């Protein structure tokens, strides 16, 4: 159900708005300030458009666009003016918001960071993208894992960013930590349209979890982002699907209580439980070992594909970035 996009809100419903924000072109601090104001204006638009809305979600790169510019002058800080503006507008409109910043990192490349702010203007979730879209993106790999926070009306929220959603382990981690709604923000362009759709649906079904997903839209004169906001129910069926219109806000009501009910009561396809309790019909409690070589190898720091020595693209030189010289050191 979508409650006619949230017009008919049920007592246990969470109304979400996915903003297909116009793809910006930001080069200067003045450009950054202008885009910050545009985001705040769109929060106000969301509140006017749907008075029942609980959560408004902006795409990745909503401030910075797709230039991949790491100029420190246009990077943001956790307590900087851009984040403060987002906090103020959420409090002003009594609405939860999800936003994207490129975060200054004094110890290396900037982070691609997502923030969830509550309706009182407080930061409830701070996430750094774990899987930058290589070889295109220069961002530092995230070092904070995948946090989950309490959201509006009994929801548990997680946030992943763009390429993160192509790894099924990311959505599984969100669900394993309790999220019943996973947000996925992106700046994808048209070649990724099909992959975007099927992974958003698979991430929902495989984890009995609502996924709410949105890309930038429109053109910056070089790239065309695709919009394609979508809200997918926990059975993998789309509740609402967007278009390519810039600044369109796609809305729907979701029911985190029904997600929780399905996780508690489903027998068939309760995969988030069954993954760790293999064959419980045959053996008491199911098998709870880890038969997956890639997991044990990764945990031991020796992940290596059988064809790894043949892989040709292993840095960003094909996209104009110099080969890195630092090894990864979590902060």
| Residue 278 dihedral angles phi and psi, to the nearest 5° | -65, 130
Q: Measured between alpha carbons, how far is 195 from 276 in angstroms, rounded to an integer? A: 27
| DSSP letter for each residue of 35-78 | HHHHHHHHHHHHHHH-TT--EEE--TTTTTBTS----GGG-B-T
Query: Active site residue: 40, 98, 162, 215, which one?
Result: 162
* 30 assigned to active site: no
Query: Active site residue: 21, 35, 40, 60, which one?
Result: 60
Q: Measured between alpha carbons, how far is 188 from 175 in angstroms, rounded to an integer? A: 24
Q: Measured between alpha carbons, how far is 206 from 168 in angstroms, rounded to an integer? A: 9
Q: What angle do CA 143, 146, 151 make, to 5 degrees?
A: 135
Query: Active site residue: 129, 149, 156, 215, which one?
Result: 129
Q: Which residues contact 314 (CB under 8 A, 6 or more apart)?
A: none
Burial of 139 (0-12, 13-18, 19+ CB in 10 A): buried
CA distances in angstroms from 327 to 43, 141, 318, listed in the order given? 40, 11, 20
Q: Which sign, positive or negative, has the C-alpha torsion 55, 53, 163, 28?
A: negative
* DSSP state at residue 189: B
* 174 assigned to active site: no
* 129 assigned to active site: yes
Q: Measured between alpha carbons, how far is 236 from 50 in angstroms, rounded to an integer? A: 25
Q: What angle do CA 116, 200, 278 make, to 5 degrees?
A: 100
Active centre residues (catalytic)? 60, 129, 162
């Amino acid at each position: 159900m979508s409650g006619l996009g949230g017009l008919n809100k049920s007592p246990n419903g969470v109304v979400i708005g996915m903003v297909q924000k116009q793809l910006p072109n930001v080069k200067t601090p003045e450009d950054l300030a202008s885009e910050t104001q545009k985001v705040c204006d769109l929060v106000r638009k969301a509140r006017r458009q749907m008075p029942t809305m609980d959560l408004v979600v902006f795409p990745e790169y909503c401030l910075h666009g797709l230039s991949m510019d790491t100029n420190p002058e246009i990077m943001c800080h956790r307590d900087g003016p851009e984040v403060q503006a987002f906090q103020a507008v959420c409090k002003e409109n009594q609405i939860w918001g999800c936003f994207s910043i490129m975060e200054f990192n004094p110890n290396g490349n900037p982070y691609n960071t997502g923030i969830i702010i509550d309706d009182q203007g407080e930061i409830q979730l701070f996430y750094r993208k774990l899987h930058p879209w290589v070889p295109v993106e220069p961002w530092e790999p995230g070092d904070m894992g995948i946090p989950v926070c309490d959201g509006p009306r009994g929801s548990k929220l997680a946030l992943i960013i763009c390429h993160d959603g192509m790894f099924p382990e990311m959505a599984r981690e969100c669900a394993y930590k309790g999220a019943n709604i996973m947000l996925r923000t992106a700046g994808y362009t048209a070649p990724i349209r099909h992959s975007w759709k099927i992974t958003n649906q698979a991430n929902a079904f495989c984890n009995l979890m609502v996924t709410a997903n949105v890309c930038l839209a429109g053109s910056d004169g070089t790239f065309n982002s695709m919009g394609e906001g979508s809200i997918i129910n926990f059975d993998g069926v789309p509740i609402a699907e967007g278009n390519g219109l810039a600044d369109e806000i796609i809305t729907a009501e979701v029911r985190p209580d029904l997600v929780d009910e399905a996780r508690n009561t489903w027998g068939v396809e309760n995969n988030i439980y069954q993954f760790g309790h293999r064959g419980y019909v045959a053996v008491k409690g199911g098998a709870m070992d880890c038969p997956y070589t890639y997991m044990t190898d990764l945990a031991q720091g020796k992940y290596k594909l059988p064809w790894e020595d043949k892989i040709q693209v292993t840095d960003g030189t094909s996209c104009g970035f110099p080969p890195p010289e630092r090894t990864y050191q979590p902060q």
